[in-house]
A and B are shown apart, each in its own frame.
Chain A
Amino acid sequence: MLTIKQLSKHFAGVVLIGTVVAVFSGCAAHEKFIPPDPLPSDNNSVPTPEYRGAPLDFEDALDKQLILQGDQLCDFTRAYGNVTDRPKQALNLTAFDEVPNSTWFTNRNATKPMSLEEIRIGPDKGNGPDPNTTWIIKRAKAEGVTPGFHIKDGHGDRYVIKFDPIGFSGLNSGAEVVGTKLFYAAGYNTPENYIVYFNPDILEMGDGVKIVDEKGRKRLMTEEDLEAILARVEYREDGTIRALASKYIPGNLLGPFDFEGVRKDDPNDFVPHEHRRELRGQRIFATWINHIDAKQANSMDTYIGEEGEGHVIHYMMDFGTTLGSGGRGPHPKYRGHQNELDPHGVLFKILTLGFWVEDWEKTDTVAYPSAGRFSPTDVDPDGFKFIFPNPAYDNCTDLDGYWGAKLVMSFRDDQLAAAVSTGQYPYDAAEYLTKTLISRRDIIGRFWFDRVAPLDWFKLEKDQENNLSLVWTDLAVEYNLEDDGKTLYTCELSMDAGKTVFYSAESTSGQVLLQNIPWDSGDQLMVTIRLQRPGEKEQSRWTKVYLERDPETGAPCLVGLQREE
């Protein structure tokens, strides 16, 4: 028999655990929606932060593959949030779950479709290095399989020149340019990248040019070194060389940003990077274009403005291993399916003695040498693996994924064709890449729009009889993933955070009438919308839209929205 004392102890334990669970879970399920505070501007004048070099590859690999993974595993607060489907959401959001413009991201194609010309131009402000002038070599890199050098052209502009691997003309350079256009159109800051054709005779060695050779030795570059580099590139029939020219990012370069934490010496950098929506959601965009090398070293911070009067801008760069390009040739088959050091994948293969053949091992999709290995169908929208794990990507929630998918889906077929055309591929390869991007886009869109109800672009409209309606766009229909008029939308209009329900309505069009509601100033109307696709038994997760009356005019206005994770 249990004594009173023992029972009391058990009761106290239950109360304690209950309290902990309640506090962690958050007891305020029926609270009025309060829009988040506007994100402070991040382009205030600040002193120039110090330069910070990129981590070495091995260092980064160990950090992200071992230390970070262990850290995440043992972060019980994070684990609890994930287990209870309440992961920590991104912090830099508007009331409508969008990302405001900042030094990191500028809303572009997803909010206002860009013209084909705008897509083609991307971040470019010129035409690249002038091949009719002398290019003075300032620095060179002989290490690695694809060599390159830094030049100053006749107009005084500086570029990094990179080459394609022999036998794969256009593979790296095309991917770099197309990746740049797409990343830029999505909203990220990117350098100006150009494809150039030049005669090697225009190259001239600068004074005291240093070269880092294959053994990591830094020394003065000789003519023989230049000949050795040029012997490892492919020449066209007319004697010219196709290359990628990446213009120096403007400003005072500060080194790459980490996908975790903040830059301590930049007061404008106040949102931890792993909790920035544009970095978390970038996982989906990177999955789409096969940007497997989305790591710290492939980013760059730059200080724009006079010392003390400028601020930091954050760039994504190095897209040479996007699409089908693996850098030294087409992507090896495991890319996108396994990390470079993949303990889980290796252990799984060993434990199954290799008898379990994964799908990616079976496919071989090198359709064209210049397109590389880029499968139109073999893409896992939620399980894509990068060379190293990325802390921001690891924190990507369903809502971040949905946001990323919106970026991906915003690209129309003709926009993709325009972007691919900038890669200057042979016709067949260009067509293949465009079709592949379209196919992967739709796979990603279907996945994420199924996981989060893709209801967006909410607005209030009055009809001819002055009836007010809440109108939305079903993005799955908008982007032709679902047929128009066949989805059933169920709406519930309520107040007091759902306690007072006025009525429910069903429709197959994206709108609901707001009528006969005793709705005073200060009240918050909540419209809960779920959708049901044809053939599906269950409704989608909810989307809640909040409306209030303008305190001054009394006119209804949208306050914000929430989506069920």
Chain B
Amino acid sequence: MRPGFIVVVLLLFFMILIGAPVTPAFADSDNNDSAPSDSIKQWKDKNLKKSALAWTGSAIGDVIYFPFWLTFSILKEGVTIVEKTKIVEKIDDLLTKDDGTRKLEPIISPSRGIGGRLILKRHGDDLARLNLAASGLHEGRSLEELELADVPLAGRALMMNLYGFYARMPEEPFFGYGPHSSYEMGSEFGIERFGGELGLASEVLQHVELEGFGGYQSTRSFREEEEDDGNTGDDFPDNPLWSITPLNTYPGGDERVELMFVGAGFSIDKRNHLGIPTKGYQFTLTSSLFTEVEEENFGFLKTYVDFRKYIHLFYGRTLIVRMAGEFTDPFDDRMIPFYNLSEIGETNTVRGFKRGRFRDNDAVYGTLEYRVPIRDVWQESGYDFHVFADGGQVASDIFQDFTWKNSQAGFGFGVRTWNLEKEALRVDFGFCRDGFRIYLVLNAI
């Protein structure tokens, strides 16, 4: 007897044993403990018995379907257990208070890794909140943040934000300067940074906010293998760049740099919906002056500008046009730490490229993203599909050196879910000349 035949027979026996769909659909009705009346039994004998051929036809299909049936059934049972035990609600209940004074939400993003954010508010206070966030679990990172946000001052005319953080990112990639940096030269360095910021903001007009801020940050960059953990990084274990130009030859490389900064910003948000905007625009402009504490080696002005226009095309399909740039200019012959340069790569610039793929004083980038709503339930929640094309370039002086041939392009597609307040989850599949990357962002700010 062929082994295949034995396997099929055993499989059929097993399926019948566990009540898989190979059991004739009507067999159940014959398994009653109570005897049906004779007329019912006769009717069933006449009408419900399958012929051998019909049974065979169904059974063959059942055998083919069995692996799928098993997978779907396990999935169903899993979901049922989660739903029946209300485990999600119970965890949420444990972490979140009904009166809104405590809330914990998971966060995932390429720059932060995986973690959570605890939001604490005073009872009955709709503004001031304390945010505590911790994330990591990705490329050896650790990021802890504390924010006292939206504290009303002067009868709510001003909002104060106080922010402090500690970050350790041991596997930051570096590919060199300029638009022609090579992926093959990719090397890794580590950063340890902490700092704080005090900001004051005011909504001068409806949807228009002005802010001023100032703070301090201390950054130490290092070669990863110099650390005790012995981890030499996963993506670029050979670090070819460091053998040609060691880390300490770069401004701020392999040393601690302490910077103070002051700045001002201006933002307008005229989107028609926070979760699924189809009309309106967003504009942000911030400018910060960084200067080294007690030394005069480093000092620069960084300006960030970002404009997004939401254009409704037809029946909810929306085109998002984005233009953004980051301009970093040293002053008084000072230098810019290489990790403070403007950069391209990652979700917020040109998707498809690795984080920090291109670095230089200036970076400009743009996006065309076309969104198709898949499900929209009462404008309260839903999900959509999008395709995008990103483009951008870095230059030491973008206004002088800009040339189309230095542009980098990425394209791809993705899905996002949204609710009344925000984009909740986004998954992007980005393609570029370096290859393909997946980006997952959950509850990012």
Binding site for B on A (CB under 8 A): 20, 23-24, 37, 39-41, 44, 46-47, 55-59, 62-63, 66-67, 70-71, 73-80, 91, 215-217, 261-262, 264-265, 267-270, 272, 326, 328-329, 332, 334, 346, 349-350, 353-354, 357, 361-362
Contacts and interface: CB of A to CB of B under 8 A. Distances in A.
B360 to A, nearest CB: 35
Given A265-B33, A270-B40, A272-B29, A346 B61 contact: no
8 contacts: A40-B40, A59-B79, A73-B65, A216-B89, A270-B40, A329-B378, A349-B374, A349-B385
B198 interface: no
A267 B35 contact: yes
A221 to B, nearest CB: 15
B21 interface: yes
Q: Which 6 A-B pairs have the closest CB atoms?
A: A354-B372, A74-B61, A77-B57, A74-B65, A40-B39, A267-B36
A20 B53 contact: yes
B36 to A, nearest CB: 4
Among A58, A332, A353, A354, the one with the most B-chain Cβ atoms within 10 Å of its Cβ is: A354
Contacts of A261: 25, 28-29
Interface string B84-109: 10100110110000100000000000
B14 interface: no
B44 interface: yes
Contacts of B404: none
A269 B48 CA distance: 13
Given A58-B80, A66-B72, A353-B370, A332 B33 contact: no
Given A39-B43, A40-B39, A354-B385, A62 B29 contact: no
Contact of A76 (B33, B57, B370, B387): B57
A40 B29 contact: no
A74 B75 CA distance: 19
A220 to B, nearest CB: 16
Interface centre among A57, A66, A77, A264 (most CB of B within 10 A): A77
Contact of B69 (A70, A77, A215): A70
A334 B378 CA distance: 11
Given A44-B36, A261-B28, 9 more contacts: A41-B39, A66-B76, A67-B76, A76-B60, A79-B61, A215-B86, A332-B376, A349-B374, A361-B316
A264 B44 contact: no
Contacts of A350: 372, 374, 385
B83 A58 contact: yes
Interface string B14-53: 0000000100011011011111110110111011101101
B65 A71 contact: yes
B6 interface: no
Given A23-B53, A40-B40, A62 B46 contact: no
A24 B33 contact: no
A73 B61 CA distance: 8
B118 to A, nearest CB: 18
A234 B262 CA distance: 52
Contacts of A46: 34
Contacts of B370: 353-354
In the complex, which of the residues A39, A41, A59, A326 has the most CB atoms of chain B within 10 Å of its own CB atom? Answer: A59
A355 B21 CA distance: 40
Nearest to B313: A354
A215 B93 contact: yes
Interface string B386-423: 01000000000000000000000000000000000000
B377 interface: yes
Given A23-B53, A349-B374, A353-B372, A267 B32 contact: yes
B58 interface: yes
B374 A70 contact: no
Given A75-B61, A362-B315, A267 B48 contact: no
Given A215-B92, A262-B28, A353 B80 contact: no
Interface string B340-375: 000000000000000000000000000000101111
Nearest to B60: A76
A55 B60 CA distance: 29
Contact of B36 (A47, A63, A270, A354): A270
B29 A270 contact: yes
A216 B89 CA distance: 7
Contacts of A77: 50, 53-55, 57-58, 61
A264 B30 CA distance: 8
B217 to A, nearest CB: 41
A56 B80 contact: yes
A537 to B, nearest CB: 37
B144 interface: no
B68 interface: yes
B203 interface: no
Contacts of B57: 24, 75-77, 80
Contacts of A80: 57
Contact of A63 (B34, B76, B375): B76
Contacts of B75: 62, 66
B10 to A, nearest CB: 20
B317 interface: yes
Given A71-B69, A353-B370, A354-B372, A76 B58 contact: yes
A170 to B, nearest CB: 18
B339 to A, nearest CB: 39
Q: Which of A57, A67, A349 has the most CB of B within 10 A?
A: A67
Nearest to B73: A67
B314 interface: yes
B32 A272 contact: no
Contacts of A361: 315-316
Contacts of A40: 37, 39-40, 42-43
Nearest to B51: A23
Nearest to B372: A354
A28 B280 CA distance: 70
Contacts of B372: 349-350, 353-354
Contact of A91 (B47, B54, B80, B90): B47
A332 B69 CA distance: 32
Nearest to B36: A267
A70 B68 contact: yes
Contact of B26 (A24, A75, A265, A272): A272
Contact of A354 (B58, B69, B317): B317
Nearest to A55: B80
B205 interface: no
Contact of A58 (B51, B79, B317, B376): B79
Interface centre among A23, A39, A40, A73 (most CB of B within 10 A): A40
A47 B61 contact: no
Nearest to B383: A346
A70 B20 CA distance: 13
B62 interface: yes
B128 to A, nearest CB: 25
Contacts of B50: 77
Nearest to B39: A40
Contacts of B374: 346, 349-350
A24 to B, nearest CB: 6
B65 A267 contact: no
B25 A272 contact: yes
B64 interface: yes
A270 B43 contact: yes
Residue in B37, B69, B314, B376 with the greatest tally of chain A CB atoms within 10 Å: B37
Contacts of B373: 354
B25 A216 contact: no
B375 A67 contact: no
A346 B29 CA distance: 38
Contacts of B64: 74
Given A47-B34, A264-B32, A332-B378, A37 B316 contact: no
Interface centre among B33, B60, B378 (most CB of A within 10 A): B378
Given A56-B80, A67-B73, A71-B69, A264 B29 contact: yes
